[in-house]
Amino acid sequence: MKGIPVELCSEGSACRAAATRAYAALRASGIIDPRAFEAAVTVFRYHHPEAQPLHARHIVAEWLAPDA
Protein backbone atom coordinates (compact mmCIF):
# COMPACT_ATOMS: atom_id res chain seq x y z
CA MET A 1 0.00 0.00 0.00
CA LYS A 2 1.06 3.53 -0.67
CA GLY A 3 0.80 6.30 1.83
CA ILE A 4 2.76 6.65 5.02
CA PRO A 5 6.53 6.39 4.51
CA VAL A 6 7.89 3.45 6.50
CA GLU A 7 10.59 5.58 8.13
CA LEU A 8 7.92 7.82 9.69
CA CYS A 9 6.35 4.89 11.48
CA SER A 10 9.35 2.91 12.58
CA GLU A 11 9.62 1.05 15.87
CA GLY A 12 10.42 4.19 17.88
CA SER A 13 8.14 6.68 16.13
CA ALA A 14 5.76 8.87 18.11
CA CYS A 15 2.72 7.74 16.14
CA ARG A 16 3.47 4.05 16.65
CA ALA A 17 4.18 4.50 20.36
CA ALA A 18 1.01 6.53 20.92
CA ALA A 19 -1.24 4.13 19.01
CA THR A 20 0.12 0.98 20.65
CA ARG A 21 0.10 2.61 24.10
CA ALA A 22 -3.55 3.64 23.65
CA TYR A 23 -4.48 0.11 22.62
CA ALA A 24 -2.62 -1.50 25.53
CA ALA A 25 -4.03 0.92 28.10
CA LEU A 26 -7.60 0.42 26.91
CA ARG A 27 -7.27 -3.37 26.86
CA ALA A 28 -5.74 -3.30 30.36
CA SER A 29 -8.73 -1.32 31.60
CA GLY A 30 -11.18 -3.88 30.22
CA ILE A 31 -12.20 -2.28 26.93
CA ILE A 32 -13.04 -4.90 24.32
CA ASP A 33 -10.55 -5.47 21.50
CA PRO A 34 -12.52 -3.93 18.59
CA ARG A 35 -13.01 -0.65 20.47
CA ALA A 36 -9.40 -0.52 21.62
CA PHE A 37 -8.29 -1.19 18.05
CA GLU A 38 -10.48 1.61 16.68
CA ALA A 39 -9.06 3.98 19.28
CA ALA A 40 -5.52 3.05 18.23
CA VAL A 41 -6.43 3.71 14.59
CA THR A 42 -7.88 7.09 15.60
CA VAL A 43 -4.64 7.97 17.40
CA PHE A 44 -2.65 6.94 14.33
CA ARG A 45 -4.85 9.07 12.06
CA TYR A 46 -4.40 12.03 14.42
CA HIS A 47 -0.68 11.80 13.66
CA HIS A 48 -1.29 11.05 9.97
CA PRO A 49 -4.53 12.69 8.81
CA GLU A 50 -3.51 12.04 5.22
CA ALA A 51 -3.79 8.28 5.74
CA GLN A 52 -6.80 6.59 4.22
CA PRO A 53 -8.89 4.77 6.85
CA LEU A 54 -8.25 1.28 5.46
CA HIS A 55 -4.52 1.92 5.16
CA ALA A 56 -4.41 3.18 8.75
CA ARG A 57 -6.21 0.05 9.93
CA HIS A 58 -3.69 -2.19 8.14
CA ILE A 59 -0.72 -0.36 9.64
CA VAL A 60 -2.07 -0.48 13.19
CA ALA A 61 -3.05 -4.13 12.80
CA GLU A 62 0.52 -4.97 11.80
CA TRP A 63 1.86 -3.19 14.88
CA LEU A 64 -0.51 -4.98 17.22
CA ALA A 65 0.02 -8.44 15.70
CA PRO A 66 3.47 -8.39 14.07
CA ASP A 67 3.69 -12.20 13.94
CA ALA A 68 0.29 -12.71 12.33
The CA-based diameter of the chain, rounded to the nearest angstrom, is 34
Rounded Cα gap, residues 25 and 11, in angstroms: 18
Give CA angle at 25 (8, 59), nearest 5°: 30
Sketch the domain layout of the chain as residue ranges: 30-68
Percent of residues, the chain, with pLDDT higher than 70? 84
Confidence of residue 68 (pLDDT cuts 50, 70, 90): low
Is residue 9 scored above 70 in pLDDT? yes
